[in-house]
Structure 1
Amino acid sequence: MASLTATVFRIPDEITEHTLTLLHPIDIANFSQTCHSAYTLVYGAPDQYLWHQLFLAYPFDNPINTLNYQNTNTSYNWRNALQRRVQAELIASNIVHRLEEQQFALETFISVIGDASPPLEHKEASESIKWVIHILHGSRILDAHVTLPSPTDIQLISCIRTYLALSFEEANNDEAIAHFNALRTRSQCLVYNIRNYRRDNNYGPFLRGGQINWVQAEAIINVMQPNLMELNNLWIDTRPPYSSDSHSSHNPSFFNDPNIQESTRLKELKLHLVPVSSTLHDYVSVSPRNSLRSPRFPNLYFLGISKGTEGDEATVKGSVSMGNDRVVRWRFVSLISHFISEGIQIGNVGSAAGIIGSWTGATHDHGPFWLWKVPDDHPSHISDPN
């Protein structure tokens, strides 16, 4: 071993480092234990060049490209980030025997999703997102029957499921279809239960302390996405007939009736920012809650028009803020119909997944919504085929 080590370290460090970038991080950890010189090369270098290259070669998206790190003096700890991700991968692959490390792994997967590069035109899918989906597909860490998660872990699992929007649900056999239908029914019961919309949770997907209720957020995704999928390619311009009113049965079997069709209405919103100076009085009703108040992410206020399929228009105003938990929050109010909407952004700053949440009215009607941005040249005409 001594002669082999001596031979290796006759090679310039730059070449050795480049060679190491072709290896898996676990192999590099093993290499570092062979001698003091190897350990110093891997862990004692004055810069993080090796870890930077290993991180990008794994492959992961470059987090420096995200808006969280642009125009800041924040340095990224490549070594720590890669080690956390590899450790989370190992935990997930053997979760049955590493239950005490479940929270660490879940928090790491959420941070990877948050550090994923924002979507760009004609760009392939995020390498970081593909890695998360690949790891979780091969793990049972999201399976509550296996992991028996704590209340904190339940929120983390729902956060991941919210971000990845039914990516783990398959309907390729009778058992999977039954599981999916049961999940959908449970979610409908959560979303349409008016008792889940109260003053102490701001009538939205929040807990009493103002934190995000990711269980409720996941339920909104589980309701909205299948509804859109059932409309095939017509959902962009289609509004199905309304099937019931808010006084219907609260029995979950209500949703199993094949004749029941939820109302999925499309509305167009055109919004523009307004100066902060004009918001002091007019925007009190939509002022941000639990705002981070960061100079990098100041509270924003907007005004716009909401247009429905029947040509009805309403003035909308609202605010966008970065929460203390670094989740972007949106608040809307319709000035004519007296609806208020409380939403959260799916993903980090720059995410194209949109905003999900719930709306409530003066008469205590309620329902879920999913808002996303479309290209500037997207057709603005909204038709009703009925």
Structure 2
Amino acid sequence: MIGILPTELVEYTLTFCQPKDVAAFSQTCQQSRALIYESDDQFLWRELFLAAPFDDPIDSPNQDPELPRGWKGELQARIQAEALVTLSYEDMRARDHDSISNAFDTLVRVLHATSPGKVKNLDWLASTAAKSFVFNDYDRFPRFLSNTQPVHQLLLLSWDLSGFRTSKGGLRGRILDDARYFVYNLSKYSVKSNWGAFCLSGSEGGALMFTANWEHIRHCVHILQLRGGDVEFPPYDLCNAIAYSAPGSHSRASDDWAGVEGVWMRDVRFLDYGTLIDLNATADEYGNLSPYEGEFLEGFTRFQVAMKIVRDLKPEEHFVISRRPLNADKRHPRLDFIGFGMSELSLGPEGQTALRGHVDRLVDGSILWTSLSAPNLGNWSFAGFQLGGPCSASGVVGTWTTSGHNFGAL
């Protein structure tokens, strides 16, 4: 029957169907399957995608214009991701790790492809999160998802959606304790972690390659959010994780793809050295810390820094705080920057250089910020990752450490 109808008419008729109905139609005969899945024509799949509860990815300033998966591949990936993420605990455990990781990675990619002012993607992500135990059952998700980095990334970017944010009493205390035992555990900082919130992903030519450790960064966010006090932090939610959602990001210079220039508020949370040493003295042979009986003596400081890109540097003049990662995205050049203190409460005298650094974008889309404090301000370096897309209002979170790591260095 299908052979006597024009292909264009069949495709147009199918655009009024749901994807699952199109899939059912493809099973009626070989001609139907060939039309649905083997045709190079993207018309049908583009129409199905735009009829689904998603924003047009072509409108996103953070979207690859080539849409690597194509309309069919992207729609299929999102439908499959929703099905996997909303499985029950028992059913998800039965699936292989890679398929679950890819499903959460797809959700993160949907967020990164969202533009400010668009709501379809965000509504779909919120609906998916509401149906997933991962966002609402703190006792269960770490058991087999703890090594799935996209899970941690999505949890911290959608903190407003999870049931953990509004929890009170015991659960909030447990989440904060788990974060402290992770972030303040000195065994987490070594060559294998690049002395920060990194995961070793491989090597090339004898050099190590690292990616973001979103589990580590998620725990850093929990310490900032759950510690209490009168200090307000940027809301860690989907709207603020969207690319170019930060104030003033649309008036930035054309070469400032990362939103470097402007006034930044830098917040630093730290643990008293004595408490840090006592806490780590409880570590067992595997580096696990025992429950700490004393008080967590944490400090906090906030200061303003005016950030400026340093342009027109000769190759030998670039700030080589760290070599450009081997897995850097060559489409986004490294940006060198300096930061100036803005007041007596700032890091360093007003108007004087407080730090220098650079920002790189990695091929997986993550954005790495690295900086070094001015020589007169101590031997400190910072490495952190942008939460969400470039110029997101959620900001950058990472860890401070010494700029050199000799024996015994913290």
| TM-score, shorter chain, exceeding 0.5 | yes
**Does the aligned pair in 1 maintain the 2:104–2:151 contact within 8 Å?**
no
Structure 1 position 301 matched with structure 2 position 300: no
Q: 1:114 to 1:31 in 2, by over 3 A?
A: same
2:309 corresponds to which of 263, 266, 273: 273
Q: How far 1:218 sits from its partner (Å)?
A: 1.2
Which residue of the partner structure matches residue 130 of structure 1? 123
Structure with bigger helix share is 1
1:288 corresponds to which of 317, 320, 324: 324
Other structure's SS at 1:64 match: helix
Other structure's SS at 2:273 match: coil
Q: How far 1:276 sits from its partner (Å)?
A: 5.5
Paired residues for 1:90-101 under 5 Å: 90-95=83-88, 96-98=90-92, 99-101=94-96
Q: 1:306 to 1:347 in 2, by over 3 A?
A: same
**Does the aligned pair in 2 maintain the 1:66–1:115 contact within 8 Å?**
no
Other structure's SS at 2:301 match: coil
1:192 corresponds to which of 173, 184, 199: 184
Q: Distance in 2 between matches of 1:326 and 1:234?
A: 24
Other structure's SS at 1:266 match: strand
Structure 1 position 212 matched with structure 2 position 239: no
* Structure 1: gaps spanning 5 or more residues: 368-386
Q: Distance in 2 between matches of 1:243 and 1:33?
A: 60
Which residue of the partner structure matches residue 372 of structure 2? 333
Which residue of the partner structure matches residue 202 of structure 1? 194
Which residue of the partner structure matches residue 255 of structure 2? none
Q: Distance in 1 between matches of 2:216 and 2:62?
A: 26
Paired residues for 1:1-386 under 5 Å: 14=8, 16-67=10-61, 69=63, 76-95=69-88, 96-98=90-92, 99-116=94-111, 117-120=113-116, 123-125=117-119, 127-141=120-134, 145=140, 148-149=143-144, 152-153=147-148, 155-165=149-159, 167-170=161-164, 177-208=169-200, 209=208, 210-227=210-227, 230-231=229-230, 245-248=272-275, 249-250=278-279, 262-275=298-311, 277-278=313-314, 280-281=316-317, 283-292=319-328, 294=330, 296-307=331-342, 310-311=345-346, 312-313=348-349, 314-335=353-374, 336-337=376-377, 338-361=379-402
What value does the CA root-mean-square deviation take over the aligned residues? Answer: 4.0
**Does the aligned pair in 1 maintain the 2:172–2:226 contact within 8 Å?**
no
Encode CA deviations 1:66-105: one digit per residue, 9 max, x unaligned. 44545x5565511111112212222233342352244323
Q: 1:317 to 1:278 in 2, by over 3 A?
A: farther
**Does the aligned pair in 1 maintain the 2:306–2:340 contact within 8 Å?**
yes
Q: 1:201 to 1:109 in 2, by over 3 A?
A: closer
Bigger mean CA offset, 311-320 vs 51-60: 311-320
**Does the aligned pair in 2 maintain the 1:119–1:352 contact within 8 Å?**
no
Q: Distance in 1 between matches of 2:190 and 2:31?
A: 62
Q: Distance in 2 between matches of 1:21 and 1:264?
A: 56
Encode CA deviations 1:9-47: one digit per residue, 9 max, x unaligned. 76x655554443343211211122234454344334442
Other structure's SS at 1:145 match: coil
> Residue type matched to 1:203 in 2?
W
Q: 1:132 to 1:37 in 2, by over 3 A?
A: same
Structure with bigger strand share is 2
Q: Distance in 2 between matches of 1:202 and 1:362?
A: 12
Q: How far 1:358 sits from its partner (Å)?
A: 0.6
Encode CA deviations 1:264-304: one digit per residue, 9 max, x unaligned. 4322222222236346246122443344251x122221122
Count of equivalent residues:
350
Q: Distance in 1 between matches of 2:17 and 2:128?
A: 19
Q: 1:59 to 1:286 in 2, by over 3 A?
A: same
Q: How far 1:135 sits from its partner (Å)?
A: 1.7
TM-score of the pair, normalised by structure 2: 0.70
Q: Distance in 2 between matches of 1:309 and 1:261?
A: 25
Q: How far 1:130 sits from its partner (Å)?
A: 3.3
Q: Distance in 2 between matches of 1:324 and 1:332?
A: 20
TM-score of the pair, normalised by structure 1: 0.74
Q: How far 1:359 sits from its partner (Å)?
A: 1.1
> Residue type matched to 2:107 in 1?
V
**Does the aligned pair in 2 maintain the 1:63–1:69 contact within 8 Å?**
yes
Q: Distance in 2 between matches of 1:239 and 1:35?
A: 62
Q: Distance in 1 between matches of 2:55 and 2:332?
A: 23
Q: How far 1:199 sits from its partner (Å)?
A: 4.5
Q: Distance in 2 between matches of 1:207 and 1:37?
A: 47
Q: 1:24 to 1:87 in 2, by over 3 A?
A: same
> Residue type matched to 1:297 in 2?
H
**Does the aligned pair in 1 maintain the 2:305–2:342 contact within 8 Å?**
yes
**Does the aligned pair in 2 maintain the 1:162–1:221 contact within 8 Å?**
yes
